[in-house]
Structure 1
Amino acid sequence: MALKITQTKGLVGANPKQRKNISALGLKRIGHSVVRQDNGATRGMIQIVRHMVTVEEVAGE
């Protein structure tokens, strides 16, 4: 199973930890989407920036 992660809010006012997590997820701008594997590390990064992203489950890699 994989997760499609889309950035919905900007980084203005975000703390450094949130900025680093958005960058580590591979997101670059509002509306940008990436597909990542569903594992504990990815879920942890999403949890930190959950108010800035939307997450959908997708089948496959």
Structure 2
Amino acid sequence: MATLRITYSKSAIGYTVRQKATVKALGFKHLYETIEHDDSPAIRGMINRISHLLTVEEVATEKPRSAKKKGE
């Protein structure tokens, strides 16, 4: 599963209460804060609503390596 690194890059001052609530629902408390969320349709929808306030980048997640048994 992919992870999204989201940065709150523009203030929500002057935008609607609904957009401010979306910023808060994503977990942002401060301007220029960066958080990571798992990629899901709900998160993508919130990002699309306030994309003009955010910077988004996709982070490749590493699969955990399986432990090799002795003798293999």
Q: Check whether TM > 0.5.
A: yes
Q: How far is 1:60 from its partner?
A: 2.4
TM score, norm. by length of structure 1: 0.92
**Aligned-pair RMSD on alpha carbons?**
1.3
- Work out which structure has the larger RCO, using CA pairs closer than 8 Å and 6 or more positions apart in sequence: 1
User: 2 CA distance for matches of 1:38 and 1:17?
Assistant: 22
Q: Confirm whether residue 23 of structure 1 aligns to residue 9 of structure 2.
A: no
- Secondary structure, in 3 states, of the residue corresponding to 2:51? coil
Higher strand residue share: 1
Matches for 1:1-61 after TM superposition, within 5 Å: 1-60=2-61
Structure 2, unmatched stretches of 5+, are 63-72
User: 2 CA distance for matches of 1:49 and 1:29?
Assistant: 15
Q: Judge conservation of contact 1:10–1:29 (CA < 8 Å) in 2.
A: no
Q: How many residues align?
A: 61
Query: Alignment identity in percent?
Result: 39
Structure 1, unmatched stretches of 5+, are none
4+ aligned runs moved over 3 Å, structure 1: none
User: 2 CA distance for matches of 1:24 and 1:60?
Assistant: 24
Q: Judge conservation of contact 1:8–1:53 (CA < 8 Å) in 2.
A: yes
Q: How far is 1:34 from its partner?
A: 0.5
